[in-house]
Chains A and B, each alone.
Chain A
Amino acid sequence: MKLDRPRITIYTPESSLTNPLKMLRDMCFDVYSGRGLALRLAIRDIKAQYRQAFFGILWALILPLANTATWIFLNRTGIVSVGNTELPYPIYVFTGTMIWAIFMDALNAPLVQTTAAKSMLAKINFPREALIISGILQTLFNGSIKTILLIAILFLFGVYPDWHLILFPLVAMSMVLAGTTIGLLITPIGLLYTDIGKGIPLVMQFLMFVSPVVFPMPTVGWAAKIFEMNPLTPLILTARGWLTGMPTEALGSFLIINLVFFVVLLAVSVIYRLAMPIMIERIGS
């Protein structure tokens, strides 16, 4: 029998931020030791998700397609007047909603995963970071299915991507990075107050309208300013550009925004880690 060296754990009321180095070391250890668990949980959820659904993988496609159909309808009938787009509008809106769906998946994952694991969190001590990583893995898995379907549909529409397509996974991952960062930021308070969970769709709806998802970039007025200030704009433009073989010149801001999101994600992970015992205490089982 293998004997581990005895690990002494000490619990005190002090914030673990008083010893930041130790906290970071513990956090890295937990992320590392939780990797197997994260994978296991992701496999569990993906299996369960598809085993209980008749349409299975098709669901990844049905919602964005329905969304696209709605916007094409609104545009054709003139109820909503969308300006001119470089791409044919159906392709513009379809690629937009698919990319947006990946972002939303990533954004919802931390709160959804943590809430679903509530009873487990209240009773078992396991690396909680594994829940977040499991969420990311699931988003990546579902995102790749979405991407494959998306490319297949693009071919049907007669859009042939160029070599930039191989870069698409990169931009898809930065959508996931952005989504996870925002999602993880709201998770601690979202667990305490359900208002957060209810407010997200509202805020996200608005955010979608000020991103180049269904509307093209406005060129003048205050709307143009908002679009420009929106950190998601370069991500979505780059994503669509690489998909359709019409690369944009937003590469510089794309890189900067990724870097910013990455740094914020690290900070937010620390907040999540520190807040977890307090949340467990308040939410009970």
Chain B
Amino acid sequence: MDKKTNPIYSAEMFPTDPDVLVKVEGTCKKFCRDLKKSLWYGAQDIANELTPWTRNAERHANLRPEEFWAVNNVSFELRRGECLGLIGRNGAGKTTLLKMLNGLIKPDKGRIEMRGRVGALIALGSGFNPILTGRENIYVNASVLGLSKKQIDNKVEEIIDFAEIEEFISSPVQTYSSGMKVRLGFAVATALEPDILLLDEVLAVGDLKFRVKCYNKIDEMRKKASVIFVSHSIEHIGRICNSTLVLNKGKTIYYGNVSNGLETYSRQSDSIDHKPFKKNFPPIKSIILSTNKIKYNYGEEVILLVEIDTNEEIFINFRFVIFEYPSRIVAGEINSIGLGLPNITIKKGSQKLIMKIPALNLKAGKYTIAHNFFSLGNHLISVGEAKNTIQVKGSGIGETHNQIPIVSCN
């Protein structure tokens, strides 16, 4: 818990991995507190940018009066299929980092490498014109996000369907409710099929039903992409991420797995705007995850054993993630909401929960298993990892993704 960095993630381990879609090395960005100075520095920066052969550019790297580092020496890597949660208090530099990744602003130091198409769900509905109809705005918005007319023609019905606004599609957008605008914006943005997906607080909007739909859509996009997710919500982070980067005043204070990241974040947030987050949040007193065996053959059934002790009766959704060991690449995932499974009832007191994964279709190697439990309102109530790693033998290739598990309680 005390270790600030996780050696598992050191960049040297995977020097030329083609699946590394995002590579950030020692990136810094400075901002200015004073507006007048900021504008003047801006004019200077433009002059420097146009005269790269002069020595002025070297001064670029140092802080001028009233400037500070908004992002300070941040490094990380992200592979396809992974989701990094970017957390930190207001002003920690999350959005600035996201803007650099998106190519909106340039880093002052360091290097950022992005492989593939970048999609950003940041400003939903940017470029909407209030006077034009929903359909017209779909075309404008999708062009801004980089789709051609032909691509939009193919997707427009799908977008309207997803946003659930068929009957208003020919009305001007200024007559829409704010929720409808957001739905339309999200629907357009999801038509992108990006390799790298940047999400900034997008899940904080919309009604519950639409939010669940968004989760599922993001889950679906995530399989083909790397995701960077900015949120203040520990539930959301726990729900979709498999690693976290905690920022404080621009600096990385933790980079590693989700449960430690969330704990670092909640410790740092005191109790001002967040309730302290505990690994086993009440109503769960204790929880232990284990497997029936250590060694498995390819395609064999796996039995997960969850020993759980609760203060009250609860209803949960669950998500299990299987990581390759020690690289922590996501190998498989089982997600009850994604599968459309009903909630599980867990009675008050101590009990055992048994879940059978019908076939472990993983290539030979070592793996760890992590769990996330969510309450009915989709609040994360428990995060944890099995103590032991498991080993898979056999020559099969493939992934264990969203198989219907058999759940029983006793």
* Residue positions of A touching B, CB distance < 8 A: 1, 4, 6-15, 17-18, 33, 36-37, 40-41, 44-45, 47-48, 51-52, 117, 119-126, 188-189, 192-193, 271, 274-275, 277-282
Contacts and interface: CB of A to CB of B under 8 A. Distances in A.
Among B39, B143, B145, max chain A CB count under 10 A is at B143
Contact of A15 (B49, B99, B123, B136): B49
A47 B48 contact: no
Given A123-B123, A124-B127, A9 B105 contact: no
Contacts of A10: 111-114
Interface in B131-190: 131-132, 136, 139-140, 143-146, 148-149
B95 to A, nearest CB: 10
A7 B117 contact: yes
Interface in B116-137: 116-118, 120, 122-123, 126-127, 129, 131-132, 136
A15 B132 contact: no
A274 B49 contact: yes
B356 interface: no
A202 B279 CA distance: 65
B104 A8 contact: no
A10 B110 CA distance: 11
Interface of B: 31, 38-39, 41-43, 45-46, 48-50, 52, 57, 60-61, 99-100, 102-118, 120, 122-123, 126-127, 129, 131-132, 136, 139-140, 143-146, 148-149, 193, 195
Contact of A125 (B46, B103, B116, B132): B103
Given A11-B100, A15-B57, A4 B117 contact: yes
A250 to B, nearest CB: 34
B103 A7 contact: no
A192 B102 CA distance: 22
15 contacts: A7-B116, A11-B100, A13-B108, A14-B52, A33-B146, A36-B148, A36-B149, A47-B132, A120-B127, A123-B123, A125-B102, A271-B50, A275-B46, A278-B45, A282-B38
Contacts of B48: 15
A126 B126 CA distance: 12
Contact of B131 (A48, A125, A192, A280): A48
Contacts, number: 150
Nearest to B130: A48
Nearest to A45: B129
Nearest to A5: B116
A124 B111 contact: no
B112 A36 contact: no
B43 A192 contact: yes
A274 to B, nearest CB: 5
Contacts of B104: 121-125, 277, 280
A161 B195 CA distance: 58
Nearest to A117: B127
A11 B107 contact: yes
Contacts of A121: 104
B26 to A, nearest CB: 11
A274 B50 CA distance: 7
Contacts of B45: 278
Contacts of B120: 123-125
A125 B118 contact: yes
A24 to B, nearest CB: 15
Nearest to B98: A123
Contacts of B139: 40
Given A36-B143, A124-B123, A278-B46, A9 B114 contact: yes
A13 B126 contact: no
Contacts of B49: 15, 17, 274-275, 278
